[in-house]
Structure 1
Amino acid sequence: MDFLEISRYGFMIAFFLYCASFIFYVVAVTGKTWKNRDPQRHERKWGRISFATSSMGLLSHLIYCAFRWAYSGHIPVSNMYEFMTFLSMMVMIAFTVIFLIYRKILLGMFALPIAIIIMAYAAVFPQDVQPLIPSLRSIWLYIHVTLAATSEAFFAVGFVAALLYLLRTIEFDSNEKSARRQKRWIEFTLFSIIIVVGFIVSVFAFRAAGYEAVFTQNKTAIDSQVQQDSTIEQQGVYHMPPIVAPYQSKAESVPSFLGMDRAWFEAPSWMSGASSARKLNTVIWALITGIVLYLLLRLILRRPLSKVLAPAVKGIDPNDADEISYRAIAIGFPIFTLGALVFAMIWAQQAWGRFWGWDPKEVWALITWLYYSAYLHLRLSRGFHGRKASWIAVIGFLVVMFTLVGVNLIIAGLHSYAGTD
């Protein structure tokens, strides 16, 4: 068994241990209401089991990282599979650090799903080890990417604590206008997470079915040497049924799916890139699958998801959740400043000859930094605590997730070497 195989087993074992740990955390939190149970003893017992299981999962995750590093010769953060897997590992490290400080069992019940979803999202992308492209062969790969992932992991923990605060303090039985507005927004936050889950489900479902549609697209290119136009034929391969076909393309092979044997419409002319239409198609399927999953959950539970989760957080002190959220973001922000901005600009100067180029990922990293700067400024100077601060923290992590998921999935740029299949 070689190093790469050991790393794959480490990834799989970590994933299943995290899933088991999440179940144990649910038992630790909800089992306190079971009959003939001592609540404190039950929570201590299952809390220890849960944390021990998540720690073993983290150890297996570290084994994955170490052996993939040994096999490839560089830290495994060079593509989307490696980076998202590394990010999920850092989320677990950040959770472990915060848990050891505050000892709040409920954090695990909400932090573990974030790590699990990120790992599942990572598994969507090609997992082959590839040699580094020239711009990545730098010490700054180790510094910039690892610090950016570490900071985003602490933002994730801050998001979890803020979500706990909101679920704990929102009055779900109230019909007042402000309460209804709060309930709608917390439900939208959960819906946004389910959209990411929908993307993962749709990719794996069609991949398991072996679906593949092929389009050819003729593009005009200008030959500068002979000053003539030439036609280049490009081929686009879809692994999901084509709702959107490439601009001015011809269908070569479109397997029927639920009666769909052709695209519903063609991408607009400004979306003429080789993979632009395919990415839009993927986004549409993620939305469709996410909406279906959300409606199924609503049908099964017969209540809003936020109202289902609210009883589980009754035992948490909202002041503790507010404090944990602030501390996690306060730890993550200076790390993000150094890793995602300062060191990133130094690396950009060395790799591309400029500190700043308005690349989509750079722009959204700046937006994220400005957003959390505003959070800390409002928190420290204007006394934003409690619900206001929690909403800012929740929205901030949605911005982070768009930077990580949306920018790579939708927008092309210099960071697209980490892009999608």
Structure 2
Amino acid sequence: MSLVDFSSDAFIVAFLLYCLSFTFYGMAVLGKRFRKRDPEAHVTKWGKIAFVTATIGLICHLVYFFTRWAGSGHVPVSNMYEFMTFLSMAIMIAFLVLYFLYKKSMLGLFALPLAILIMAYAAVFPQEVQPLIPSLQSYWLGIHVTLAALGDAFFAVGFVAGLMYLLRTVNFNEKDKQSRREQRWLELCMFAIVVLLGFIVSVYSFRAAGYHAEFNQTNIDPATETSTIVKVDYDMPPLVAPYNSETISMQPFLGMKSPLFEAPSWMHGINAGRKFNTVVWSVVSGIILYGLIRLVIRRPIAKVIQPVLNRLDPDDLDEISYRAIAIGFPIFTLGGLIFAMIWAEVAWGRFWGWDPKEVWALITWLFYSVYLHLRLSKGWQGKKSSWLTVIGFIVVMFTLVGVNLIIAGLHSYAGTD
């Protein structure tokens, strides 16, 4: 067995241990509601078991990282599969750091699902070891990406704590305008999470079914007015066809024998249509899954979750959220901006080029700069601060995922098959 194959096995073991740890956290929280004697001891017992399981899972995750590094010959952060798996590992590291600081087991009930979702999302992308293009053949790549991802991981845990604060404090019994607005926005956050989950479910479902479609796309170079024909493969039913393309083969899906429409012409790149199709499928599958969940529980998802958090101190959650971002900000500053600019100079001969990923990394940094300023200088705490952590993580995820799926740029090498 090669080191790369062994690393894949270690990754699967880590994923399963994280799922088991999440189950133990659920037993700790939900089980205490049925314990008549000493429910807090029940939480402590199962919380420790969940924590130990998560720690073993992280060790397996680290084994994956270092064996893949040894097997591939470079730091495994060079494409979307490797980066997202590293991000999930960094989230677990950030969670364990904050657990040692605050000893709040409940944080695992939300941090672990986030890491699990990101690992499942990573597995959507091609997992083969890919040779590095010249711009990636630099040790600055590992320094830049790993530090940027670690900073994002602390932002993610800050988001988790902020979301828990909102779930704990938003009053679902009030009917005034302000309360209804908070309820709607919080439920929209739940919907966004379900959209990600729905996308993962749909990708794996079509992959298991062996779905495939092919198109020939005609690309015209405006400078030379020459045209080239490129084959584009789809692994999901093509609701959106590539721009200026013809169908070569397409398996029927629910009576649909041809795409519903073409991607707009302003979406540049060979894979633009496929990426847009992915975005559309994410929304469609998310809406369907969200509708099914609401049909079963017959209440807003946030309202169902809220009773689980009743025993938590909102001030502790607010403090954890702030500390996570305060730790992550200087790490992201080094990795996402300073070392990124050094790498850009080495790779492309300039420190800054207004590439979409560079712009959104700057937007992320500016947003969290504003967050810290409002928190420290203007006294924005509690709900105001927590809503900012939610918005900030949306910006982070768009920078990491949305830019690759929607906008073409120098960072589009990151494997979005």
Q: Same-fold call, TM > 0.5? A: yes
- Which amino acid letter does the alignment assign opposite residue 58 of structure 2? L
Does 1:349 find its partner at 2:348?
A: no
Give the counterpart of 1:273 among 269, 275, 281: 269
Does 1:112 find its partner at 2:112?
A: yes
**Are the counterparts in 2 of residues 110 and 160 from structure 1 also a CA contact under 8 Å?**
yes
**Are the counterparts in 2 of residues 359 and 413 from structure 1 also a CA contact under 8 Å?**
yes
Residue of structure 1 in register with 2:209 after alignment: 209
Deviation string for 1:336-374 (max 9, x for gaps)? Answer: 111100110111011111111111111110110000000
Residue of structure 2 in register with 1:232 after alignment: 228
Residue of structure 2 in register with 1:4 after alignment: 4
**Are the counterparts in 1 of residues 8 and 64 from structure 2 also a CA contact under 8 Å?**
yes
In the alignment, the residues of structure 2 paired with residue 372 and residue 221 of structure 1 have an alpha-carbon distance, to the nearest angstrom, of 40
Residue of structure 2 in register with 1:83 after alignment: 83
User: Aligned in 2, Cα 1:37/1:410: closer, same or farther, shift over 3 Å?
Assistant: farther
Q: CA deviation at 1:217?
A: 2.2
Deviation string for 1:247-292 (max 9, x for gaps)? Answer: 2221111110110110111222323532111111111111000111
| Bigger mean CA offset, 191-200 vs 229-238 | 229-238
Identify unmatched segments of 5+ residues in structure 2: none
| Bigger mean CA offset, 323-332 vs 243-252 | 243-252
Deviation string for 1:37-82 (max 9, x for gaps)? Answer: 4212101110110001101100110110111111011111111101
Does 1:291 find its partner at 2:282?
A: no
User: Aligned in 2, Cα 1:172/1:403: closer, same or farther, shift over 3 Å?
Assistant: same
Residue of structure 1 in register with 2:45 after alignment: 45
In the alignment, the residues of structure 2 paired with residue 252 and residue 131 of structure 1 have an alpha-carbon distance, to the nearest angstrom, of 30
In the alignment, the residues of structure 2 paired with residue 235 and residue 220 of structure 1 have an alpha-carbon distance, to the nearest angstrom, of 14
- Which amino acid letter does the alignment assign opposite residue 182 of structure 1? E
2:230 is paired with a residue whose SS is: strand
Residue of structure 1 in register with 2:309 after alignment: 313
Residue of structure 1 in register with 2:26 after alignment: 26
1:3-402 equivalences under 5 Å are: 3-221=3-221, 229-271=225-267, 273-402=269-398
**Are the counterparts in 1 of residues 107 and 161 from structure 2 also a CA contact under 8 Å?**
yes
In the alignment, the residues of structure 1 paired with residue 41 and residue 212 of structure 2 have an alpha-carbon distance, to the nearest angstrom, of 54
- Which amino acid letter does the alignment assign opposite residue 283 of structure 1? V
**Are the counterparts in 1 of residues 268 and 408 from structure 2 also a CA contact under 8 Å?**
no
**Are the counterparts in 1 of residues 213 and 251 from structure 2 also a CA contact under 8 Å?**
yes
Q: CA deviation at 1:222?
A: 6.5
| Bigger mean CA offset, 212-221 vs 58-67 | 212-221
**Are the counterparts in 2 of residues 409 and 419 from structure 1 also a CA contact under 8 Å?**
no
Give the counterpart of 2:412 among 400, 409, 416: 416
| Bigger mean CA offset, 34-43 vs 405-414 | 34-43
User: Aligned in 2, Cα 1:321/1:195: closer, same or farther, shift over 3 Å?
Assistant: same
Percentage identity across paired residues of the two chains: 63
2:226 is paired with a residue whose SS is: strand
In the alignment, the residues of structure 2 paired with residue 393 and residue 256 of structure 1 have an alpha-carbon distance, to the nearest angstrom, of 43
In the alignment, the residues of structure 2 paired with residue 75 and residue 272 of structure 1 have an alpha-carbon distance, to the nearest angstrom, of 30
1:218 is paired with a residue whose SS is: strand
Deviation string for 1:311-356 (max 9, x for gaps)? Answer: 0011110000000000000000011111100110111011111111
| Bigger mean CA offset, 95-104 vs 234-243 | 234-243
Q: CA deviation at 1:105?
A: 1.1
In the alignment, the residues of structure 1 paired with residue 33 and residue 268 of structure 2 have an alpha-carbon distance, to the nearest angstrom, of 57
| Bigger mean CA offset, 265-274 vs 121-130 | 265-274
2:248 is paired with a residue whose SS is: strand
Q: CA deviation at 1:219?
A: 2.7
**Are the counterparts in 1 of residues 144 and 339 from structure 2 also a CA contact under 8 Å?**
yes
**Are the counterparts in 2 of residues 150 and 335 from structure 1 also a CA contact under 8 Å?**
yes
In the alignment, the residues of structure 2 paired with residue 219 and residue 146 of structure 1 have an alpha-carbon distance, to the nearest angstrom, of 36
In the alignment, the residues of structure 2 paired with residue 37 and residue 235 of structure 1 have an alpha-carbon distance, to the nearest angstrom, of 65
**Are the counterparts in 1 of residues 214 and 249 from structure 2 also a CA contact under 8 Å?**
yes
1:111 is paired with a residue whose SS is: helix
1:233 is paired with a residue whose SS is: strand
User: Aligned in 2, Cα 1:40/1:222: closer, same or farther, shift over 3 Å?
Assistant: closer
- Which amino acid letter does the alignment assign opposite residue 163 of structure 2? L
Deviation string for 1:189-208 (max 9, x for gaps)? Answer: 11111111122112111111
- Which amino acid letter does the alignment assign opposite residue 93 of structure 2? I
Deviation string for 1:163-198 (max 9, x for gaps)? Answer: 111111111111111111001111111111111112
The root-mean-square deviation of aligned C-alpha atoms, in Å, is 1.2
Deviation string for 1:199-240 (max 9, x for gaps)? Answer: 21121111111111111122334786xxxx433212111111
> TM-score scaled to structure 2, two decimals?
0.98
**Are the counterparts in 2 of residues 161 and 325 from structure 1 also a CA contact under 8 Å?**
yes
User: Aligned pairs, how many?
Assistant: 417
1:236 is paired with a residue whose SS is: strand
**Are the counterparts in 2 of residues 244 and 266 from structure 1 also a CA contact under 8 Å?**
yes
**Are the counterparts in 2 of residues 154 and 332 from structure 1 also a CA contact under 8 Å?**
yes
Q: CA deviation at 1:2?
A: 2.1
**Are the counterparts in 2 of residues 280 and 410 from structure 1 also a CA contact under 8 Å?**
yes
**Are the counterparts in 2 of residues 340 and 365 from structure 1 also a CA contact under 8 Å?**
yes
**Are the counterparts in 1 of residues 126 and 415 from structure 2 also a CA contact under 8 Å?**
no
| Bigger mean CA offset, 43-52 vs 200-209 | 200-209
